[in-house]
Amino acid sequence: MRTRKNRELDLLRSYRRKAKGDRERTPLLSGYYTPALVLLVVGLVIWSGLAGVNYVMQRGNDAIQDWLAAPETFAQYDEAVQKQEQLEQIRRQIDEVDALERSIATYPKVTSALMARVRAVGGDRISVRLTGYDDQTGVLAFEARGTNVSEIPGYVRDLQNTGLFRTAGYTGYTYDEDHYVLSLSCVLAGHASEGGDQP
Amino acid sequence: MEMTAHDRQLLRLVLSAAAIILCARFLILPALEQRQELKQQREQLEQQQEEWQLTIDALSHLDDDIASARDERRQAALPYFTGPMETREMDDVITAIALKHDLFPDTLVLTAPQPGRESDYLSQNGQTDAASGDGSEEESGLTGFVQIGSADFTVRGSEQNWVDFLDEIEEQYPGLRVKSFQIQEESYLTDSADVVQGNTIHCTLELYECVESEEGAA
């Protein structure tokens, strides 16, 4: 029984000696620098992967840069840009003409039609003589001549009611050769919308 | 001196940490930074490429667009005079209309057309809230296509003839606009030394012309 136990103990010692010998023979796997080496290798692998991705990306960027710098690309782009500028310029010119048309349309039209409407207010009793117009102020100036002084206030009111004028400026009358002469300065109403008729 | 197990353990930890720091600092982080830069560069390049490609693709229809726009511009400019007009041509137009209506031309002062913008009557006279001002802030945006000339002139004639003159300008000449006039009754001495009463009319008129330029042709 004793002999058998001693034999077992010897086997354990023998196993430990063997295991220790194995460790001494393979220091690379069990050395204190092994984890550091493993980490370095892992770092290098990650770096290699990233470097590969970067290389591919750089190649892609170079390809785009080459396309942009190619003479035929640049020539086409330059031609297109110049034509677009040309088109924009023409469109601005059209806008300028449209703006001119719109502005002109807002001005009152001093014509025989307008004067006929002014004359119609006084009828046969009051004659009208045109004396001036200024588009800066919108003032249409004219003299009205009538024989009956009592008709004058009504005549001025009728002028206002035509809708032709924004204001009908009347400062009084003078008597001259059997006629009362009224000097009127009336501000013409403009056109609110383009192409509209005179009010 | 022999290293103990504890020393080995400590050294293992220090070396591992050093390996991690070295890898991160000198390999991985620079690579990531480079990747980020390349990514940004790629985005910019792709954006520029897309923009250029769109511009180049538009070439196929730009010529048609330009031709169509020119046609539209020609139509828009039709009512106005085609410039550049010389002052003698302005004289031809204005004097001819005056003579046609038996108005005797006395004086004429012409100003050659210049790029300009017509102001709006309603805002000019305070009839709307939208004040256009004198447009000075927009003058720099003028293309020079629309040009405005002016004529100050004096004619003699009857009021009816003058109104006929105004009618013809209004109906036949969209490129002319009477800005202002004053009619004064005056006495004239005729060739036969007779004194006659008549009207002297001082008028300021604007002329609108459209001047086609090369508009930066390619």
Query: Are B49 and B116 in the same domain?
Result: no
Query: Are B42 and B90 in the same domain?
Result: no
CA quadruple A33, A38, A39, A41: dihedral sign = positive
Query: Are B189 and B112 in the same domain?
Result: yes
A166 interaction partners in chain B (CB closer than 8 Å) = 125, 127
Is residue B99 situated within a structural domain? Answer: yes
Q: Are the C-beta atoms of B69 and A87 separated by less than 8 Å?
A: yes
Q: List, as ranges, residues 60-79 from B with C-beta within 8 Å of A.
A: 62-63, 65-66, 69-70, 72-73, 76-77, 79
Query: Are B47 and B91 in the same domain?
Result: no
**What's the whole-number mean pLDDT along residues B68-74?**
95
Q: Which domain does B207 fall in, by range?
A: 81-132+142-211
Is residue B218 situated within a structural domain? Answer: no
How does pLDDT run across A37-49, given as a tens digit for each residue?
Answer: 999 999 999 999 9
Is residue B162 situated within a structural domain? Answer: yes
Q: Domain spans of chain A?
A: 32-69, 112-188
The reported pTM is 0.76
**What's the whole-number mean pLDDT along residues B4-22?**
90
Number of domains forming the structure of chain B: 2
**β partners of residue A139:** A134, A187
Is residue B85 situated within a structural domain? Answer: yes
The residue among A59, A103, A117, A198 with the most chain B CBs within 10 A of its CB, best to mutate, is A103
Could you tell me what percent of chain B has a pLDDT over 90? 69
Query: Are B188 and B107 in the same domain?
Result: yes
How does pLDDT run across A86-110, given as a tens digit for each residue?
Answer: 999 999 999 999 999 999 999 999 9
Query: Are B108 and B196 in the same domain?
Result: yes
Is residue B76 situated within a structural domain? Answer: no
Could you tell me what percent of chain B has a pLDDT over 70? 89
Residue A69 has pLDDT above 60, yes or no: yes
How does pLDDT run across A21-40, given as a tens digit for each residue?
Answer: 555 555 666 678 888 999 99
Q: Are the C-beta atoms of B76 and A97 separated by less than 8 Å?
A: yes
Q: How far apart are CA A77 and CA A84, in angstroms?
A: 10
* CATH code of the domain in which B103 resides: 3.30.70.60
The full 3-state SS of chain A, as one line of letters, equals: CHHHHHHHHHHHHHHHHHHHHHHHHCHHHHCCCHHHHHHHHHHHHHHHHHHHHHHHHHHHHHHHHHHHHCHHHHHHHHHHHHHHHHHHHHHHHHHHHHHHHHHHHCCCCCCHHHHHHHHHHHCCCEEEEEEEEECCCCEEEEEEEECCHHHHHHHHHHHHHCCCEEEEEEEEEEEECCEEEEEEEEEECCCCCCCCCCC
Give the closest of A54, A73, A83 to B62, CB-based: A83
Q: What's the pLDDT score for residue A196?
A: 41
Q: How confident is the model at residue A19 (pLDDT cuts 50, 70, 90)?
A: low
> B12, A138: Cβ pair inside 8 Å?
no
Query: Are B41 and B107 in the same domain?
Result: no
> A190, B122: Cβ pair inside 8 Å?
yes
Q: What's the pLDDT score for residue B127?
A: 60
Q: List, as ranges, residues 10-69 from B with C-beta within 8 Å of A.
A: 11-12, 15-16, 18-20, 22-24, 27-28, 31-32, 34-35, 38-39, 41-42, 45-46, 48-49, 52, 55-56, 58-59, 62-63, 65-66, 69
Residue A5 has pLDDT above 90, yes or no: no
Query: Are B43 and B123 in the same domain?
Result: no
Helix, strand, coil % over all residues of chain B, rounded to 5: 50, 25, 25
The domain defined by A112-188 carries CATH number 3.30.1360.100: yes
Closest CA relative to residue B152, chosen from B112, B92, B204? B204
